Structure 1
């Protein structure tokens, strides 16, 4: 197979799978790693791909943040599956922090532990905890982002410093080899402080979040203890998570 043919085949693979490693190119086309690297250099020069650690990805792998209601409806079945599994991790008597993500909202609705202390910067998630529970709910003050319904700012961070939780439930827009990505720097700052003020950190992310980037990188990979998702990610991602000491839970498996 000529180089031009291989390059076209690589682009077809990327359209289906978003990423491709050097080793996958070698296995698929029966070429050496040096040949695969030359193909990568050529594709990069043409700005058809972006190089990653060990391979390539499409240059437009950037998630576009929708409005809150639209995000709530997107991948709803996957989010419910993740939420049901997440609820099993919450025990009576614990203090938990909930961020402002829609996946965490699904989890808040599924929590069945009766005695809880809940700390959140999300107006929606404060109201999502079932009314039958005997819970103390602390809604952090601050400036309101009206579109995405979260509170943020110096007063929010200062209030967070007064709490320490057993667990934090954190949503993300993207997970890449260099960390977790968010749309808003202000929201990312609150999530990061929640992580610092919690004993164990759960990142809730459906399978579409892997190898996606957005505007702001808010946390390194090793900031999470557990990722709960709905489908087994690629071997490359599993290796990254393992290298960073992150437990991977596949909901429904």
Structure 2
């Protein structure tokens, strides 16, 4: 088990039990206590949990740098450029899904002024508000838990809606992307939802600005095999392009 996978399992255990000991984790994961202490120290630095004597407890607070308002200030031009390319993939009368990322919000802002008939599902509160005044767009807000500092409804509560609706395209961003881990994020709650969404849609389009390529976060929600199209704002190296080709991923550079 890779370190990222192991840490994801630790978060899942904490999500269920709220607290855990190193000794119990060692038995569950069959990993040395020394390795687990290193994991917990790393995860505490990421503000995902709080270390205790002999274990850890779940930390529900979102780090300030990862709040929606702070993320919305970063790489604004790149996100806008990616959004303009993304809407070229949308056809009249499509049913699309926008995640709660700030890049997906840029797509919503463009669609708000677009005369196109759509059904849009989203777990992003801000994206839903942007689209509500366009009479040609039906907006379905997926239910879930709202945490402090977040504009995303998270958790599995919105999944049953997808069992009743055929979704043509899901547009999703991430905290990071690597070939080995795929699309990763820092919130175990949102990852849980995104995993379910990815498994139920017709096509997954990754909308990833250049700063996130090669970066990694705590939990993976989509592997390289789950992605159908990949949009970014700068060219990538030939090795990554070859990986995309081998996995039948259509690569777009937004200009």
TM-score relative to the length of structure 2 = 0.70
> What residue is the counterpart of 2:50 in the other structure?
none
| Contact preservation (8 Å) 1:121, 1:152 | yes
Q: How many residues align?
A: 190
> What residue is the counterpart of 2:79 in the other structure?
79
Task: Output one character per residue of 1:46-65: Cα deviation in whole Å (capped at 9) or x when no partner.
Answer: xxxxxxxxxxxxxxxx9x85
> What residue is the counterpart of 1:119 in the other structure?
121
In 1, Cα distance between equivalents of 2:71 and 2:251: 24
Task: Output one character per residue of 1:85-140: Cα deviation in whole Å (capped at 9) or x when no partner.
Answer: 11111111010011111101011111225211011111111112272341111111
| Contact preservation (8 Å) 1:160, 1:193 | no
| Contact preservation (8 Å) 2:132, 2:139 | no
In 2, Cα distance between equivalents of 1:129 and 1:226: 24
> What residue is the counterpart of 2:66 in the other structure?
66
In 2, Cα distance between equivalents of 1:128 and 1:233: 32
> What residue is the counterpart of 2:221 in the other structure?
218
| Contact preservation (8 Å) 2:156, 2:192 | no
In 1, Cα distance between equivalents of 2:110 and 2:130: 9
> What residue is the counterpart of 1:153 in the other structure?
155
Deviation of the 1:170 alpha carbon: 0.6
Larger Rg computed on CA atoms: 1
| Deviates most, 226-235 or 121-130 | 121-130
The alignment status of 1:195 with 2:198, answered yes or no, reads yes
Deviation of the 1:196 alpha carbon: 1.9
Over the aligned positions, Cα root-mean-square deviation in angstroms equals 1.8
In 1, Cα distance between equivalents of 2:85 and 2:126: 21
> What residue is the counterpart of 1:165 in the other structure?
167
In 1, Cα distance between equivalents of 2:156 and 2:216: 26
Structure 2 residue runs without a partner (length 5+): 1-45, 47-62
| Deviates most, 129-138 or 237-246 | 129-138
Deviation of the 1:248 alpha carbon: 0.5
Deviation of the 1:162 alpha carbon: 2.6
Q: Which runs of 4+ in 1 moved over 3 A?
A: none
SS in 2 for 1:96: strand
> What residue is the counterpart of 1:101 in the other structure?
101
Task: Output one character per residue of 1:191-241: Cα deviation in whole Å (capped at 9) or x when no partner.
Answer: 222222221111100111111101111111111100111010122222222
| Deviates most, 177-186 or 220-229 | 177-186
Structure 1 residue runs without a partner (length 5+): 1-61
